[in-house]
Amino acid sequence: MFGTIALLGGLGAFLFLLYSSMVYALPITIGLWAGFWAMHAGAGVGSILAGAAAGAIAFELGQLVIATSRSPVIRWIVLLSFTVPAVIAGYSMILQISELGAASLIWRHLFAVVGAGAIGCTAILRLLPPPLSTPRT
């Protein structure tokens, strides 16, 4: 009984971490590319720092453009450049994980589409700046 509860808790925690990481698919990809490039260039252990810095800079640069740009077109281009990779990665992740429980291919794709939509909405909401609070009178 305890083993089943621990298994379900661990699976839930794993899925939550995957869901959280899918939102940051573009910065993670940029960080991995930069880290592998630095490793092949001979940076050694420093390639981890280079990759982490590149991913963090990509994410912060995207948030900065969204927060400071007055043009809605530029904001939406940046939002979509972060959201589309997150949706694709989320769709693929949920399609693969749904193999564990759903036998029908139609249901697996349906779960993947719903999950990809949820991940896309979460990515947009996490990238948008917080709303300005209005003082109460």
- Which residue range forms the structural domain that includes residue 38? 14-127
The pair of structure tokens assigned to 134 is: 């209005």
Report the Cα 9 to chain-centroid distance in Å: 22
Residue 6 lies in a domain: no
| 58/41 Cα distance (integer angstroms) | 21
For the chain of 137 residues, list the mean pLDDT of each consecutive stretch of 10: 78 78 85 94 91 94 88 90 90 87 85 90 82 59
DSSP state of 132: P
The dihedrals phi and psi of 133, each to the nearest 5 degrees, come to: -85, 140
pLDDT of residue 122: 86
Residue 51 falls inside a structural domain: yes
In a domain, 83, yes or no: yes
pTM: 0.75
| Element housing 114 (H / E) | helix 105-127
